[in-house]
């Protein structure tokens, strides 16, 4: 069995953060870690898979008291291409698994809706565990596109204070950035805040979030 394919898994167990790699597979300390290893091996053995994209397995881990750290999807057009590359490395350094949804090459004729849609689609499909980052010149275009997707709450942010409010108050799961608006150092502060801030779960914020979800469902039914 080639354990190298599991190097991207990051799990949190009893407030202890570890990567599920060859070493951790060889040192399971309790039945829950042992069972986790068996589940991963059974699920992934003999086929190429993206573990964190399987909601059923993630829910099983939650049931066992094991929290799967979020996966980050990132995408940008030509105006955000360089910033995307820098942020991808920065986010990986924070311990997150990052999936690059393009652009793969710098092309001044590419279109931001393609990459924003690719990111938002992933977050919509795995909204319980995934987060997204979308970048264009102003951040406005990718923000508009991302918010077209069900269960996506995209926030256009240019300060760390806004990043905090977007997560704490609004439970935003996609971050829109303008490469022409903020420099890389400012963006790193924004990202650190955005990724590190949980939803407050206060009643008033849950109520408002639920109203957004209800509107989304009602409008979706109306437009069928």
Please state which CATH number belongs to domain 71-196. Answer: 3.40.1400.10
- What is the distance between the alpha carbons of residues 135 and 185, in angstroms, rounded to a whole number? 15
* 98-129 per-position pLDDT tens digit: 999 999 999 999 999 999 999 999 999 999 89
Give the pLDDT confidence score for residue 30 in this predicted structure.
55
Q: What is the C-alpha to C-alpha distance for residues 45 and 179, in angstroms, rounded to an integer?
A: 41
Cα dihedral angle (32, 37, 39, 42), rounded to 10 degrees? -160
Q: Which residues, given as ranges, of the chain have pLDDT below 70? A: 1-69
The secondary structure of residue 75, as a DSSP letter, is: E
pLDDT at site 220: 85
What pLDDT score does 42 carry?
58
pTM of the shown model:
0.73
Q: Give start-end residues of each CATH 3.40.1400.10 domain in the chain.
A: 71-196
The token duo for 154 is 């995209």
Q: pLDDT tens across 40-60, in order?
A: 555 554 443 444 434 455 555
- Say how far residue 203 (Cα) sits from the centre of its chain: 24
* pLDDT in the model for residue 85: 97
């Amino acid at each position: 069995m080639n354990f190298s394919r599991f190097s991207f898994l990051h799990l949190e167990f009893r407030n202890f953060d570890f990567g599920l790699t060859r070493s951790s597979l060889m040192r399971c300390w309790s039945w829950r870690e042992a069972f986790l290893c068996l589940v991963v091996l059974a699920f992934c053995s003999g086929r190429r898979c993206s573990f964190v994209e399987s909601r059923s397995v993630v829910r099983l881990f939650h049931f066992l008291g094991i929290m799967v750290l979020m996966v980050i999807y990132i995408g940008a057009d030509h105006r955000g291409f360089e910033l995307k590359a820098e942020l991808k490395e920065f986010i990986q350094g924070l311990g997150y698994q990052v999936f690059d949804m393009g652009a793969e090459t710098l092309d001044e004729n590419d279109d931001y809706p393609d990459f924003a849609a690719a990111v938002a689609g992933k977050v919509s499909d795995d909204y319980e565990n995934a987060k997204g980052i979308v970048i264009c010149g102003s951040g406005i275009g990718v923000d508009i596109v991302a918010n077209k997707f069900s269960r996506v709450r995209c926030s256009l942010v240019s300060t760390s204070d806004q990043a905090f409010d977007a997560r704490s108050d609004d439970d935003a799961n996609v971050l829109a950035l303008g490469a022409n608006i903020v420099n890389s150092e400012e963006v790193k502060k924004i990202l650190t805040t955005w990724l590190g801030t949980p939803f407050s779960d206060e009643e008033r914020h849950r109520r408002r979030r639920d109203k957004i979800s209800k509107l989304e469902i009602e409008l979706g039914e109306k437009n069928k």
